Amino acid sequence: AQKITQTQPGMFVQEKEAVTLDCTYDTSDQSYGLFWYKQPSSGEMIFLIYQGSYDEQNATEGRYSLNFQKARKSANLVISASQLGDSAMYFCAMREGPGNTPLVFGKGTRLSVIA
Amino acid sequence: EAGVAQSPRYKIIEKRQSVAFWCNPISGHATLYWYQQILGQGPKLLIQFQNNGVVDDSQLPKDRFSAERLKGVDSTLKIQPAKLEDSAVYLCASSLAGLAGWEQFFGPGTRLTVL
């Protein structure tokens, strides 16, 4: 079974609108971390936001927020006020266990922002 | 602070040739990861080092791939002989050790094309 599932291969959003990118995960660990990365066409992986499994509040970083629903095992990324520069691939990833364990990535969602 | 450095950025080889990639992690980062990202997919872990020791190489195709981190700092990933399906971006990442290593920092990647 896939550990990270991103069901939206591609999404379109109008500039200045909000968009939600879906991510569900599968783990039996109690301690884990969830990440979202942005990958523009240049190829670098840009860290956006992190949510720990024990964090009670949803994470926020500027225009990015993570809608964490632990019982449903979902960790959706919300981007508010979309900008043309937000057009990129977005990957959801999970680290099982505490500390420096490897990341498991989903297949990604390609977001296109339309003017 | 300098980020994770990788070279070369691009490499084109013919099948059955050999190739090597180099990675220099962020200073002080004990943990180093190599990920393979095939086009249209998320990155997949190949190998994880802690200092100069291998932590996880379960997904490394050991018949053709090898990696080393002899002095616990920079690392080399080698493919010999290359196959068409090895065409991918090879990402190096580093993190602190232990619980402080929750965040991984990615290099710009090496894009390999095997003809």
* pLDDT for B2: 85
Tell me the pLDDT tens digit for each residue of B76-109: 999 999 999 999 999 999 998 887 778 899 999 9
Q: What is the DSSP letter of B4?
A: -
Query: Alpha carbon B53 to chain centroid distance?
Result: 15
pLDDT average, residue stretch A16-30: 96
Q: How far apart are CA A100 and CA A87, in angstroms?
A: 30
pLDDT at residue B40 is higher than 80: yes
Tell me the pLDDT tens digit for each residue of B43-83: 999 999 999 899 999 999 999 999 999 888 999 999 999 99
Contacts of B51-57 spanning 24+ positions with Cβ under 8 A:
B55/B31, B56/A102
Nearest residue in B to A4, CA atom: B42
**CA-CA-CA-CA torsion sign (B10, B15, B16, B17):** negative
Average pLDDT score, chain B: 94
Q: Which of A24, A8, A109 is nearest to A73 (CA)?
A: A24
Nearest residue in A to B9, CA atom: A43
* pLDDT for A1: 62
Which A residues 30-89 touch B at CB under 8 Å? 33, 37, 42-45, 47, 50, 52
pLDDT average, residue stretch B19-27: 97
pLDDT average, residue stretch A54-68: 95
Q: What is the DSSP letter of B60?
A: S
Tell me the pLDDT tens digit for each residue of A88-111: 999 999 999 877 889 999 999 999
Contact B109 A43 (CB under 8 A): yes
Which B residues 64-83 touch A at CB under 8 Å? none
pLDDT average, residue stretch A1-20: 94
B8, B21 in Cβ contact below 8 A? yes
Placement of tokens 């939206």 in the chain: A8
* pLDDT for A100: 83
